[in-house]
Each structure stands twice: as C-alpha cells, then as structure tokens.
Amino acid sequence: MLDWSEIILRLGIAALAGGAVGLNRDLHGKPVGVRTLALVSLATAMLTTLADPLHQGGFTDAGSRIVQGIVTGIGFLGAGVIFHAEKHFRIRGLTSAACVWLTACIGIMCGAGHWRLVIVSLAITFAVLLLGGKIERALHRAFGGKGDPTSEPMDAPQPSDAGPHQPGK
C-alpha cells in the first residue's frame, strides 16, 4: 500500500500537469480547458495507482488491462471535441482531442510514478503547443502550401466543394 505522501504526489502532479496543458488550450479559446484536462489526468493517474501501487518499472497484467481500457476509452472523450465547421470545410478540435489523449497518458505515467517520462513529455508538449503553430505558418508561407493564411481567404470555397462526394449532394 502506498503512503499518503506518495498518493498525494502522484495524483497531485497528474492534476497539475493536465491542468497546465488545459491552460494552454483554454488560453487559445479551445473547447477543453484546465478543469477537463486536469480531471482526465487525475482520473487516469488514480486508476493506474489503484492497479499498480508498488510495481515499478512496468505493469502487472491487471495494470496493463487498465491502461488498455483507459487508452481505448479516452478516445470517446477526445472525439467529443472534434467537429466539422461547415462554413470553412475544415475539421476543428484535433489538437484539443490529442491533448485529451495526451493528458490521459501523462496521468498514467504519474500514477505509475514514472517521473522522468512525465517531465520530458510535458517539456515536449509545451514546445509543440507553443511553437508548433508558428512553425506551421512559417512553413506554409515559405512553401505556399495549402492552408497558407495569405494564399486565400478562409471562407473561399474549395475546388471540390461542388463534387458529388460532398454530403447532401
């Protein structure tokens, strides 16, 4: 059985890590935020701690089954933040959905006490979230790729919008 300090450490860091990712999403006006991602990370840490309270360096069979269930089930929550914006013919919310899945994985690592993985994962996560959009835009401008905000207006119809494969056509 884990002592109180270890339980508080594992669950507390999971909630803080998920909340930090959620803060980024919230500051960007996305559909998930601090509370949602903190709770996702906390819940997965709680289940992982319950399954494998003392097993370090790997997972028991029970722990492995819980992790499999979490990773599979969390996709339904992530799918809830993805939507299709009819006006712009674009899918929205994929990064937020990925953040839901990511915070579940961070929670699993916190619950298992894998602190190095948590630290490195969070560092890479924030590098991607803070710099990824800027890098994408710079590459689109440099190479004139589809999605370059300077190449066409956001509400301009895409060439395939009148095709027979479109819903409702």
Q: What is the pTM of this model?
A: 0.73
Angle between helices 34-51 and 61-79 (to 10 degrees): 160
pLDDT number for residue 148: 47
pLDDT number for residue 157: 44
Reading the block at residue 65, the tokens are: 């089954």
Backbone angles phi and psi of 54, in degrees to 5: -125, -5
Q: pLDDT digits over 35-91, tens only?
A: 999 999 999 999 888 876 555 556 677 778 888 888 888 887 778 778 766 776 677
Indicate the DSSP class of residue 82: -
State how far the Cα of 108 lies from the Cα of 44, in Å rounded to an integer. Answer: 5
Question: Under a CB-based contact definition with an 8 Å cutoff, are residues 79 and 92 in contact?
Answer: no
State how far the Cα of 16 lies from the Cα of 14, in Å rounded to an integer. Answer: 5
